[in-house]
Amino acid sequence: MTKSGKAKDQTMKISHDSYAEPTIGMIEASKKFPVTVERDAPLEEAITIMLLNDFSQLPIIQHTRKVKGMISWKSIGKRIGCKNQYVRDMMDDAESVEILFDDTPLVDAVRVIARKEVALIRSRNDGEITGLVDTSDITDQFMMLADPFFLIGAIENYIRHMLERIPFDLVLKALCNNRSRDIDDLNNLSFGDYIRILEVPSNWEILKLRLSKKLFVSKLDKVRIIRNKIMHFRAAELPDEEILLLRNFLNVLKNHTNSCN
């Protein structure tokens, strides 16, 4: 993206769109109490539960808080010659089970789960185990995010390219009442900033889009809301019509940006 070279010495502070750092508690699996097995249950019971549910592991949990251990295909394989055939004989002990609080930053949790393959999630509020997240859950979540994430990225690139036609001092003027962070480049703008810039009639006139400013800005605000869902790892909440909205808006940007070049 070509950076605007206009009024580079004019810096100011503007506000972010509302945003909180994603946590492991935003992953759907972290909110579903896992299927468990008793430590004194026969090994066949654990194996049957895992096979019927396509699980790789089962935690052993007492009263939703106390983790006693974890039995998995890996732990069974390590003890394959064991004569005793109970869960307690085949499970890994509690010390080897990774437990993360639900407010653990997602980027940190992903590293842990990639290394350990699975982690139990504990509520910071009441200390109860709330879920189990493994590598497949992380993969599913990122796959769910991929399509809308790339659409949002493409929309943002076209919007920034469009705003390059507006003198940078006018960009700063449109944002003069928002002073919470420095800006000296279009790449520092948020979706809320794009809306404030385009709402200024004189800025809209510069673009010569031959579109309704009111309808365009309204749709861009809906894109902003969808973007925030994605950044909060709530892509599972996106209905098909919101994905279609992103695609249609991107097509409008492509057609009008290209026609004005």
pLDDT in tens, 135-164: 999 988 887 778 888 999 999 999 999 999
Q: How many CA atoms, within 13 angstroms, populate the side-chain half-sphere of residue 106?
A: 19
C-beta atoms surrounding 222 within 10 Å: 13
CA 232, 235, 236, 238 torsion-angle sign: positive
* Three-state SS at 218: helix
Mean pLDDT lowest for which of 23-27, 122-126, 213-217? 23-27
Q: Over 80: is that where the pLDDT of 235 sits? A: no
The model carries a pTM of 0.62
Report the candidate in 205, 206, 178 with the shortest Cα–Cα distance to residue 190. Answer: 178
| Structure-model confidence comparison of residues 255 and 40, the more confident one | 40
pLDDT of residue 94: 95
pLDDT digits (tens, 9 = 90+) for 4-45: 333 333 333 333 444 457 899 989 899 999 999 999 999 999
Q: Where in the chain is the domain with CATH 3.10.580.10?
A: 24-137
Joined together, the tokens standing for residue 153 give: 């990225």
| Paired strand residues for 67 | 61
| Paired strand residues for 257 | none
Q: Over 70: is that where the pLDDT of 200 sits? A: yes
Side chain identity at residue 60, one-letter code: I
As a whole number of angstroms, the distance between CA 171 and CA 207 comes to 13
The fourth-level CATH superfamily of domain 24-137 is CBS-domain (3.10.580.10)
Segment 103-112 mean pLDDT: 94
Q: Over 80: is that where the pLDDT of 118 sits? A: yes
Report the candidate in 106, 98, 132, 131 with the shortest Cα–Cα distance to residue 31. Answer: 131
